[in-house]
Amino acid sequence: MNRREFLGSLVVLSSMQSTAEALALPSADSSSVKPLNDQPVEALTIPDLSHIPYSIAGSWLVVDLSEGRAAVKTVRRSAVSYRWQQTGPWADLLFEIVMIRDGKEAPSTITASMSSVRLASGDSSVEVISSDGDTFLIAAQHCGVHLRLAHPPAWIYQASDAAFRATSFHAYDQQSKTYLNLHADRPLIFQPAEMGIPYDTVTLASHSTQRMTVRCTTREEHPSDQIPDLTLVRTRRNDELDEWMRRCPDVPDSYQPAARTAWYLFSALQVSPEGALRRQTVLSSKKGMNMVWSWDNCINALALVKADPALAWDQLSTILDHQRADGVLPDAISDSEIVYGFNKPPVWAWTVQKLLPATPATDHTAHLEEVYPKIVRFHEWWFRERDLLGDGLPCYMCGNDSGWDNASIFAGRWPVQSPDLAAWLILDAEALAKIATQLDRTDEAARWREHERDLLARFHKRFWLDGQPHFFSLTPAGPERHRSTSLITSIPLLLGERLDPAIRRELVRSLSDPARFFAPAGPATEARSSPLYQPNGYWRGPVWGISTYLICTGLVECGETNLARTLATRFCETCARDGNFRENYDASTGSGQYDSGMTWTAADFLLLTNWLSTFHQ
């Protein structure tokens, strides 16, 4: 069961200077690469509103398309029915915005910039722009506006001829409901559902110009009846967007349009602290995957740290905040859920070491003192709870724990003992030794280094036969050895020169072999000649951003910069052609698959294109 099936069931490169470091973080300067703010921010468009919603940093609301109409939705999971549908996202629909001319719906063209959404038909237009994280300003010219409410209000009160207050909790499975507050500069008309019209509407009648605000909150309040000035709101949005775009990592010219979209996502997909999310958090998506997953958040932090170190460290803490007393970390968090049923690989200390170079030195000690004991407890948890064979090499209880939910190594019996987990624990121990040293905990650092050496020896002895990667599935009769056809067992490339040369050569060979993992869109997650390979098989074939980034980082650690550059280029070109930062891509055709507007794809694209920009200097 992969992560989207789980959610659906909830209720209802060469010798560059420090080459691995170059792959880890956006560079401070790439002088031959143009900055991304070389065009007016109001000209920056969202490629496809059906794939990438309009939103602003801190907001729990989005505008996207619903059956061809502009639709306002909430991404609060406390407001979601959890019924996954192949044709639609989980984000809950609040209302649709419809242009009205001559009393009827007017077919309109809907376009979106990164600062507003526009409906247009002839000389008529409707602009929708966030005046703050809870409020939309709607400005209409030469037309009227219908708001089609998705759910009948539990109550509605007309405070004046131009103001309504309402609330709805019809679709809510959890503890939340939404309060709507509407104010206009002209009369508003409420029309309840009736025969032939299955929805309630609030209408702002046609006029030469008119404005209204719609405020959507989860708390009762008496909002201001003042309607903000449209020009001032536009200026504020554009100034914020311009400031954000100025901090985008440098990328080669050919990737700039896609990089603008990727960097926009890191602003638009932020939500303010609420419920279980105690920090400003970058969600994985504001469409279907509107949560934050452990280990995806770490890659997001790497993409953010040069531009906003505090926000980057908050991405780690948003998961670490919820460590259980036994040391385990949650798999995923939303405003209303903390999911402990699964977890993810121990990537934390490795991530911390990559964040530090771009973090102000004056903040190092405070950050390390906060995260070190939590990472230690998680590392110890793996050995206390998951060393199922007692051989010092922990196991995954199911595929979700690996982050590669349905990878082919999990096609048989669980639990599974896999070389990638051992490699992550080695890297974790190495990084914990460095952190302990930085905190002047000399004895602890020595113990971590000894632990690392012991793990490395066990790793080499256990998982390799004739230079080929193997894994073990645990059965009632004992562990069974299997040869791997999954890219997951190439993750040990991250060990670099510590990896036995014969093993290193075999892993590199498989990554350059078109019958194995070398594919037009990047490294396939399942050998292309494998009977388990599926073009749309989630982790059994498609190219993912996080696996591509990790494999390229590992290749650079092993001195294979040219192959890393080739694979990175193929993946980045795939992302740039598609433009919507899909969850994963068909390895052969590059076709985008599953959810879209995903930070965990955008993050890897930004990290890799920034690294590729160093070859253009």
Question: What pLDDT digit, counting tens, does each position of 92-113 carry?
Answer: 888 999 999 988 999 999 999 9
Q: State residue 84's pLDDT score.
A: 41
- The pLDDT-based confidence of 156 (bands split at 50, 70, 90) is confident
Which of 438, 436, 427, 395 shows the shortest CA–CA distance to 413?
395
pLDDT at 78: 65
Q: Which residues contact 95 (CB under 8 A, 6 or more apart)?
A: 71, 72, 147, 148, 149, 150, 180, 214
Confidence of residue 152 (pLDDT cuts 50, 70, 90): confident
Query: pLDDT tens digit string along 234-247?
Result: 999 999 999 999 99
Residue 13 has what pLDDT? 34
Domain architecture of the chain: domains with CATH: 3-12+246-616 (1.50.10.10), 46-219+235-244 (2.70.98)
pLDDT, residue 467, reads 79
Between 200 and 436, the higher pLDDT residue? 436
Interatomic CA distance for residues 581 and 257, integer angstroms: 12
pLDDT tens per residue, range 360-381: 999 999 999 999 999 999 999 9
Residue 37 is predicted with a pLDDT of 52
Radius of gyration of the chain (CA): 25
pLDDT at 170 exceeding the cut of 60: no
Using left for φ > 0, alpha for ψ between -120 and 50, and beta otherwise, residue 542 falls in: beta
Residues 118 and 358: their CA atoms lie apart, in Å, by: 39
Q: What is the DSSP-derived secondary structure letter of residue 125?
A: E
Query: How far apart (Å, rounded) are the C-alpha atoms in residues 180 and 94?
Result: 9
Rounded CA-CA distance 98/114 in Å is 20
Confidence of residue 162 (pLDDT cuts 50, 70, 90): confident
pLDDT-based confidence at residue 331 (cuts at 50, 70, 90): very high
Which residue type does 112 have? A
Question: What's the N-to-C CA distance of the chain in angstroms?
Answer: 45
Confidence at residue 155, expressed as pLDDT on a 0 to 100 scale: 80
- Which residues face 125 on adjacent strands? 120, 141
pLDDT at 346: 98
Average pLDDT, the chain: 90
Q: Is the peptide bond before 345 cis (omega within 30 degrees of 0)?
A: no
475 vs 362 pLDDT, higher one? 362
Contacts of 33 (CB under 8 A, 6+ apart): 250, 251, 252, 253, 613, 616, 617
Least reliable range by pLDDT among 83-87, 205-209, 557-561, 604-608: 83-87
Give 280's pLDDT tier (boundaries 50, 70, 90): very high
Whether residue 114 is predicted with pLDDT greater than 60 in this model: the reply is yes
pLDDT given at position 9: 42
* pLDDT computed for residue 116 by the predictor: 97
Ranked by mean pLDDT, the top range of 9-13, 221-225, 545-549 is 545-549
Q: Tell me how far apart the alpha carbons of residues 597 and 372 are, in angstroms, rounded to a whole number.
A: 32
pLDDT grade, residue 565 (50/70/90)? very high
Q: Does the structure show a pLDDT above 70 at 435?
A: yes
For Cα atoms 278, 284, 290, give the angle at the middle one, nearest 5 degrees.
75
Residue type, 557: E
CB atoms closer than 10 angstroms to residue 186: 16
Least confident of 289-298, 312-321, 417-426: 289-298
Q: Which residues contact 20 (CB under 8 A, 6 or more apart)?
A: 496, 553, 556, 557
Percent of the chain, pLDDT > 70?
Answer: 89
255, 261, 267, 270: CA torsion to nearest 10: -120
pLDDT reported for residue 82: 42
What is the reported pLDDT for 91? Answer: 59
Residue with tokens 């990727």: 262
Please give the Cα distance from 347 to 350 (Å, whole number): 6
- The CA-based angle 19-24-30, given to 5 degrees, is 75
Percent above pLDDT 90 for the chain? 74
Element (H, E) at 130: strand 124-132
Contacts of 388 (CB under 8 A, 6+ apart): 394, 395, 415, 417, 474
At 110 the three-state DSSP class reads: strand
Q: Which two tokens stand for residue 531?
A: 């009977």
Core vs surface per residue 283-322: b (16+ CB within 10 A) or e: bbbbbbbbbbbbbbbbbbbbbbbbbbbebbbbbbbbbbbb
Indicate if the pLDDT at residue 192 is higher than 90.
no
Q: Cβ(124)–Cβ(194) under 8 Å?
A: no
Is 79 in contact with 274 (CB distance < 8 Å)? no
Q: Is the pLDDT of residue 577 over 60?
A: yes
**pLDDT tens readout for residues 9-49:** 443 333 333 444 446 544 434 334 445 556 677 678 998 99
203 vs 530, more confident: 530
Q: Residue 176 — pLDDT band, cuts 50, 70, 90?
A: low
Predicted local distance difference test score (pLDDT) of residue 87: 38
Interval 467-484 mean pLDDT: 91
Query: DSSP assignment, residue 48?
Result: -
Reported as a single tens digit per residue, the pLDDT across 519-533 is: 999 999 999 999 999
